[in-house]
Amino acid sequence: MSDFARQQAEFQRGILDGDETVLAEILDSPREKRDVLFGVYRYAYGSRLVEAMRNDHELLHLYLGDEMFDEMGHAYVKARPSAHPNLRWFSQGLPEFLKSTAPYTGHPELSDLAALEKTLNDAFDAAEGKIAELSEMAGFAPEAWSDLCFRPHPSACRLDLATNAAAIWLALKNGHAPPDAAALEEPARLLIWRQDVTPMFRELATEEAMMWDEAANGIPFGVLCEMLATYDDPDSAAGRGASYLHGWITAGLLTDVSVGK
């Protein structure tokens, strides 16, 4: 290792771990001691990353308040040093961190709220994709419908939440007091996507969530309808499937509809 490389490693340890070895190679300034000056880098490191987390998780910040959010943020910064050159991706691991780290494990709505904000952020700058139009459906012969396959828009993503984090998110977003956190008997099945430039989400019924998940896996419409028939009235399964499909297309959730093999 070159002297230059050793010095950079020590400088980095000084910022990340408080190691003071590098101070021996730093000069006092005419007006200030070296440890104070080096402290500018130490302070900036934590505050910059926590600030990025505040920007990415505006409503989690609102929910926790400045003090608790910053305490949590600094714990995350300590546990998960950034490995990516782009700050945009720094807080991607926050939902998993909150799910697995005490004392946050005792408040599962925090992880859910972080996951919802992360997925909305991901939808915001997800790749572009063509938007399938309802008029395209008229081009398929009736006998082809059972073979139709669907490609979700690149921004579309499913997320299951075990708590009422979506209700907390909505209340905070609208400037209302959030409801008390609560575990749900059945997970909330959310579909998150971007319409034009705006990320949004809606909750799906159990069978619509199943149909979306399987459609995203490439299962054709005919099989999807057979699966829907096992969830509710078999006679209306095809109608329900067509209704869900209509909703997806009008919401801009699909990028392609085609006849599968």
Residues 6+ apart with CB under 8 A from 14: 20, 21, 22, 23, 38, 41, 42
Residue 15 binds other proteins, judged by CB under 8 A: yes
Q: Order the strands of the 183-195 sheet from edge to edge.
A: 157-163, 183-195, 198-204
What is the torsion angle, in degrees rounded to the nearest 10, for the CA atoms of residue 92, residue 208, residue 156 and residue 62? -40
Binding mask 173-212 for other proteins (x = CB under 8 A): ---------------------x--x---------------
Q: Which of 86, 135, 174, 217 touches other proteins (CB under 8 A)? A: 86
Strands 183-195 and 198-204, sheet pairing: antiparallel
Residue 85 binds other proteins, judged by CB under 8 A: yes
Cβ 80 to other proteins shortest distance, Å: 10
Residue 140 binds other proteins, judged by CB under 8 A: no
Candidate ranges 27-35, 67-75, 209-217, 243-251; the one touching other proteins (CB under 8 A): 27-35
Q: How far apart are CA 110 and CA 100, in angstroms?
A: 11
Provide the token pair at 199: 């990320």
Residue 146 binds other proteins, judged by CB under 8 A: no
**Cβ-based nearer residue to other proteins, 42 or 107:** 42
The neighbour count for residue 94, using CB atoms within 10 Å, is 25
What is the torsion angle, in degrees rounded to the nearest 10, for the CA atoms of residue 53, residue 59, residue 60 and residue 64? 110
Residue 18 binds other proteins, judged by CB under 8 A: no
Q: Which residues bind other proteins (CB under 8 A)?
A: 2-5, 7-9, 11-12, 15-16, 25-27, 29-32, 34, 36-38, 40-41, 44-45, 48-49, 52, 81-88, 90, 124-128, 154-155, 194, 197
